[in-house]
Structure 1
Amino acid sequence: MTGSGTIGRVFVAPAAKAEMDEQTEVEAIAGQGLRGDRYFSEIETGTFVEWEPDEERHEGYDLTLIEQEAVTAIEREAGIELAPGEHRRNIETRDVALNHLVGQRFRVGDAVCRGNRLCEPCNHLQRITQDGVLQALVHRGGLRADILEDGLIRSGDVIEPLD
């Protein structure tokens, strides 16, 4: 990937199945996640994973991103309109190919992250939105990332590759 993109919107959910709450900025903590989010290591209330305090944190749960272009495309192609944050991802991006960041280091605002794996859509997302969203977001459901260096992430910040 060359070039950079920007952060459109930033979201956290305080608990599993809670509505995503839009933020102007959020604190990213290396190895723990986004402060105030359901997957932050001190909270541990995500829908799909729980770990004990003495257990090593699972990779790929610090931060999730989705391309705004993908959200727009499923509305155009499949007639599926998602309300802000309904996609259950923490960061909406613009002008960045997230699939190309798997295995790569990149900067998100002030934080440094590494793309862990694609964030494919799941049945939970389809249950809380509408039929067809699972198929519409296959291979464009976003990216799971690990936070390597702390920093603030704000709407409008740059996303840029480091490798």
Structure 2
Amino acid sequence: MYGSATMIVLSIGNGVNGFMLDPSIGEFILTEPNIRIKPRGKIYSINEGYEQFWDAATSEYVQSKKRPKTGKPYGARYIGSMVADVHRTLVYGGIFMYPGTTEAPKGKLRMLYESIPMAYIVEQAGGLAVTGTKNILDIVPKSIHERCPVFMGSKDDVQDVIDLYKKHGL
């Protein structure tokens, strides 16, 4: 991630670590060892401009976070950059969503170079990453630009989405 600082978040199959660039020596320094995503967060991240095109499970989930029956509502944060939105989800917990819509039933994020790499990082940090009905890491892509819906982040938040997909028979 590039910004006021440059960071690499990396997993080689045994957890997730964050390395910050130290420009004075030109090296990346381990600054965030063993990143773990919280089981439940307080933030949801989705482009609400597409709400009219969502399926019933996604609509119900977002409404449950905006207007919960008990407790405080989740905060809505959406940068529009998957890397930045997922990074925030890793750090603070919660859920990042890019669902399928009536206009794009398979979603817009590409599996091979967007969904699967981020799902790997999220799951290595203790979270979940699903399409709503399937674990993203269980999908075998059939083409280089194949797309899939995405719900990833804190285990309990993503499980809520899975439960709603089951409830709605999707």
Q: Which has the higher strand share?
A: 1
TM-score, reference length from structure 2: 0.26
TM-score, reference length from structure 1: 0.26
Q: Which has the higher helix share?
A: 2
The answer to which structure, 1 or 2, has the higher relative contact order (CA under 8 A, 6+ apart) is: 1
